[in-house]
Amino acid sequence: MTAPDHQPTTSNKATTAEVAREIAVEQAHVDVVYAELAKAKLRAGLVETDGLARGRTDRTGDVRDEELTGLFERDALVFNAARRRSTLDTQFEGLVFGRLDLDHALSRDGADSDRETRYIGRLGVRDDDYEPLVVDWRAPAAAAFYRATPVEPMDVLRRRVLRCKGPDVVGVEDDLMVAEAPDDLVIVGDGALLAALTRSRGAQMRDIVATIQRHQDEAIRASARGITEITGGPGTGKTVVALHRAAYLLYSDRRRFENGGILVVGPSSAYTAYIERVLPSLGEESVTLRSLGDVVDGVTAVRLDSPQVAAVKGSLRVRRLLSRAAADSPPGAPTQFRAFVNGKAVRVDTPALDRIRAQVLRGHQRNLASKAVRAQLAEAAWNTVREGDRNEFMDHFEDHLEVDAFLERWWPQVDPREVLLWLADPDLATRHGRGVLTAEESVAFAASMRDALESGTWSVADAALVDDLAARMGPVQEGPVEEREFYEIEELDDVSQFGVAEVRATRQSGAGSANGSSRIALTDPRDRLLQGRIDGPGEYAHVLVDEAQDLSPMQWRMLGRRGRYSSWTVVGDAAQASWPDAQESGRAREEAFGTQERRLFHMDTNYRNAREIFDYAATVVKAQVPDADIPQAVRETGAHPVDLTVAGSNWAAVATEAVEALLGEVEGSIAVIAPERHRAALAAVGELGERVVVIDPMSTKGLEYDATVVVDPDAITEESPGGVRVLYVALTRAAHRMTVLRPA
């Protein structure tokens, strides 16, 4: 292995007895820390009823002494809550994971030796005299743990990583930062990074708090302001670095980021499930994790549209279609208004109604315009009469039940999701899509909405459309609707006299669907689509976007609404993009960011893939994407990817054989990454063991496995919107072993 950026030495190999002695020394310190933590936990338990507010403070720079007790207790509380989560227990690395042996004379020419030992952990722990027993990994005093190199040792002689199981120290790994270790410093192991990278991968991402590299640390601790972009090829730690950055931001300015909130957005629910453990393992629970199909409250989507439909739904062209639909009357709405008001026949015809609609929408959001519409209708009605007393006419109009009944059908409160479903009608979609979508695109759009209605599920791309409509139309107003309903029920109080056993409030308008869902059995697909409420977008103090290269322009707008006043961390790699129009997406992204200051961090070391695997993938992508950002893989295993050919339709048999071989070679997860056309045939391969999954290429974005079987690469390229870029994603998911199946 080539050392990435520390290039520390690990000479003076220790004997077994020496290692045991070193472990015992570390154990003694860890025991003291846990005893202190237990005391803090007790104190924290006493203040638990006060909530975590006790420790809330702007923790920028130096923390005031009087704040320390509160902070420590808060951290103890949060830490223990996180620890209790059973998912953490199996792979948790321990509270204390690092030790620095420093000699401050190193940076002072000719000075006498001035030694210090400093322990680094997931939170700061102090003894009764407030002397630090452990320094929080995010504190300035811990920076040397991540930044010291032999070239710039920052006074560090030895950096030690403690491997713990719960409170027990089970091993240590050292890096020496000076040419020669002082006699009293024993050096153990080959370095912690190599140990971490060769381990098998579990089902979920682990934190890297013990082995963060210098260049990663710079991105983690970068200023909280403006836009921080992290780019780099596959496996370069972009995701894991961004998550540690979220934990760092919470530490450095807790009040701002805990109160304002941090939103972490990734491509899929498989991705959020994969990363969800990282922040709790760092003691941070107060971050909102969402997949792109889950950003808008009231829409939960995992289904993907066909690439053609997704391209239409993601592009800015679709906004014209939406704006026309949002301005339209509901299907079946009356086209003229007729009533007797104050003894006079009133008739407002279609052109006049259209004029009212257009005029009102120029100044109002649709759902907030009910009053304005009523006033304009009254004015139009009066203009058709112009006889008698105007005020008297207006008073009658105001209270008129027929006016209520008309407006409830012509201008009801409309849930934005309803508007999208109106577009399941191909004629309507074609009419509203004229000039911006081709006829085929409009028809395909309508068909996708019928898919939604049939399956009762939204697609991931629909979420951004609902959000766009919600922003145009304003929130559904409930007050007046409920009042009227109550009135009606009261009037029918004693319904039994009419032979009616039960009154159910039913609503015809979209508003009914938005808030009346609790009374409806959700077996109906339409009700499932309209479950919950669409509220205004929540605003966050920080938005972290992973796999940013895949966001469509409409998705950037959706996130932009949530990050109007926030700082951003944006993570991506253009060579892995599945969104076809990078330029349009780039413009929407610029709009979301505004003019805030920018900083860029580039990661160029691949920590995931064995070099043999990455070389294979790099050759494939470079042939078609010559400017791909190719990182350097640091670990060699000697195991080259295995190419197998499949005769006829024998995919399942060959895949089974490949997986069975891999089950014996790796300890952790194995993924069979297959294009749509082979997935049904391969479903049974997923039954080969708990460690095995069969998955589509797009869903593997951001994920990693010990081993992969990549099925029919050409078909993956053909089927995917991003072509070879998505194949590149599939070929860079394996840490240790990869088998590739191709047709004979």
Half-sphere exposure of 101 (CA within 13 A, CB side): 19
Q: Kindly state whether residue 542 participates in binding ligand ATP, applying the rule CB under 6 A.
A: no
Interface residue with ligand ATP, options 211, 459, 566, 699 (CB under 6 A): 211
Q: Kindly state whether residue 232 participates in binding ligand ATP, applying the rule CB under 6 A.
A: yes
- Nearer to ligand ATP by Cβ, of 245 and 678: the residue is 245
- The answer to whether 115 and 103 are in contact (CB under 8 A) is yes
Q: Kindly state whether residue 228 participates in binding ligand ATP, applying the rule CB under 6 A.
A: no
Q: In what order do the strands lie in the sheet with 567-572?
A: 287-291, 262-266, 542-545, 567-572, 227-232, 598-603
From the DSSP assignment, how many helices (H) and strands (E) are in the chain?
A: 30, 23
Does 233 carry a binding-site annotation? yes
Q: Which residues, other chains included, contact 179 with Cβ-Cβ below 8 Å and sequence gap of 6+?
A: 9, 150
Kindly report the CA angle at 275 between 271 and 276, in degrees rounded to 5? 110
Interface residue with ligand ATP, options 217, 467, 573, 719 (CB under 6 A): 573
Q: Please list every residue from 140 through 179 that binds ligand ATP, using CB under 6 A.
A: none
Interface residue with ligand ATP, options 252, 549, 552, 732 (CB under 6 A): 732
Helix (H, G, I), strand (E, B) or coil at 558: helix
Q: What is the dihedral of CA 635, 638, 639, 641, to 10 degrees?
A: 80
β-pairing, 156-165 vs 168-176, is antiparallel
**Cβ 201 to ligand ATP, closest distance in Å?**
6
Q: Kindly state whether residue 249 participates in binding ligand ATP, applying the rule CB under 6 A.
A: no
φ, ψ for residue 523, nearest 5 deg: -85, -20
- Nearer to ligand ATP by Cβ, of 153 and 237: the residue is 237
State the sign of the Cα–Cα–Cα–Cα dihedral 616, 618, 621, 623: negative
Interface pattern 181-200 for ligand ATP (x via CB under 6 A): ------------x--xx---
Does 293 carry a binding-site annotation? no
Does 234 carry a binding-site annotation? yes
- Nearer to ligand ATP by Cβ, of 55 and 283: the residue is 283
- Nearer to ligand ATP by Cβ, of 133 and 617: the residue is 617
Task: Specify the stretch interacting with ligand ATP by CB under 6 A; choose among 204-212, 410-418, 471-479, 535-543.
Answer: 204-212
What distance in Å separates the CA atoms of residue 703 and residue 700, rounded to the nearest whole number? 5
φ, ψ for residue 642, nearest 5 deg: -105, 130
Q: Kindly state whether residue 236 participates in binding ligand ATP, applying the rule CB under 6 A.
A: yes
- Nearer to ligand ATP by Cβ, of 119 and 271: the residue is 271
Buried b / exposed e over 77-116, threshold 16 CB at 10 Å, is bbbbebbeeeebeeebbbbbbbbbbbbeebeeeeeeeeee
- Nearer to ligand ATP by Cβ, of 187 and 548: the residue is 548
Interface residue with ligand ATP, options 237, 266, 433, 563 (CB under 6 A): 237
What distance in Å separates the CA atoms of residue 51 and residue 531, rounded to the nearest whole number? 32
DSSP 3-state percent helix, strand, coil across the chain (nearest 5): 50, 20, 35
**Cβ 549 to ligand ATP, closest distance in Å?**
9
State the sign of the Cα–Cα–Cα–Cα dihedral 302, 305, 306, 310: negative
- The answer to whether 720 and 616 are in contact (CB under 8 A) is no
Residue of closest CB approach to ligand ATP: 237
**Cβ 298 to ligand ATP, closest distance in Å?**
29
- Nearer to ligand ATP by Cβ, of 30 and 197: the residue is 197
What distance in Å separates the CA atoms of residue 393 and residue 2, rounded to the nearest whole number? 88
Q: Which two tokens stand for residue 306?
A: 């066909």
Q: Kindly state whether residue 234 participates in binding ligand ATP, applying the rule CB under 6 A.
A: yes
Scan for tokens 């791309």, then name that residue: 461
Does 637 carry a binding-site annotation? no
**Beta strand segments in 292-383, E:** 301-303, 337-341, 344-348
Interface residue with ligand ATP, options 70, 235, 293, 722 (CB under 6 A): 235
Q: Which two tokens stand for residue 221?
A: 């601790």
- Count of positions on this chain that bind ligand ATP (CB under 6 A): 23
- Nearer to ligand ATP by Cβ, of 245 and 557: the residue is 245
What distance in Å separates the CA atoms of residue 114 and residue 105, rounded to the nearest whole number? 6
What distance in Å separates the CA atoms of residue 420 and residue 16, rounded to the nearest whole number? 68
- The answer to whether 730 and 673 are in contact (CB under 8 A) is yes
Task: Specify the stretch interacting with ligand ATP by CB under 6 A; choose among 12-20, 218-226, 232-240, 667-675.
Answer: 232-240
Does 236 carry a binding-site annotation? yes
**Cβ 550 to ligand ATP, closest distance in Å?**
11
- The answer to whether 295 and 558 are in contact (CB under 8 A) is yes
Q: Please list every residue from 325 through 354 that binds ligand ATP, using CB under 6 A.
A: none
Q: Rounded to the nearest 10 degrees, what angle do helices 401-410 and 370-385 cross at?
A: 120
Interface residue with ligand ATP, options 9, 149, 213, 569 (CB under 6 A): 213
- Nearer to ligand ATP by Cβ, of 459 and 732: the residue is 732
- Nearer to ligand ATP by Cβ, of 442 and 732: the residue is 732
- The answer to whether 165 and 1 are in contact (CB under 8 A) is no
**Cβ 14 to ligand ATP, closest distance in Å?**
23
**Cβ 352 to ligand ATP, closest distance in Å?**
58
Interface residue with ligand ATP, options 607, 616, 651, 728 (CB under 6 A): 607
What distance in Å separates the CA atoms of residue 331 and residue 341, rounded to the nearest whole number? 27
Q: Please list every residue from 673 through 712 that binds ligand ATP, using CB under 6 A.
A: 702, 704
Nearest to 429 by CA among 448, 410, 414: 448
Interface residue with ligand ATP, options 240, 373, 437, 671 (CB under 6 A): 240
Does 232 carry a binding-site annotation? yes
Q: Please list every residue from 31 through 70 that binds ligand ATP, using CB under 6 A.
A: none
Q: Kindly state whether residue 611 participates in binding ligand ATP, applying the rule CB under 6 A.
A: no
**Cβ 442 to ligand ATP, closest distance in Å?**
35
Task: Specify the stretch interacting with ligand ATP by CB under 6 A; choose among 45-53, 130-138, 208-216, 640-648.
Answer: 208-216
Interface residue with ligand ATP, options 149, 228, 231, 239 (CB under 6 A): 239
**Cβ 61 to ligand ATP, closest distance in Å?**
26
**Cβ 547 to ligand ATP, closest distance in Å?**
7
Interface residue with ligand ATP, options 138, 163, 238, 245 (CB under 6 A): 238
**Cβ 639 to ligand ATP, closest distance in Å?**
18
Task: Specify the stretch interacting with ligand ATP by CB under 6 A; choose among 28-36, 107-115, 234-242, 260-268.
Answer: 234-242
What distance in Å separates the CA atoms of residue 388 and residue 333, rounded to the nearest whole number? 31
- The answer to whether 461 and 554 are in contact (CB under 8 A) is yes
Interface residues toward ligand ATP, by CB under 6 A: 193, 196-197, 208, 211-213, 216, 232, 234-240, 573, 576, 607-608, 702, 704, 732
Q: Would you list which residues are annotated within the binding site?
A: 232-239
Could you list the residues known to form a binding site for ATP, using ranges: 232-239
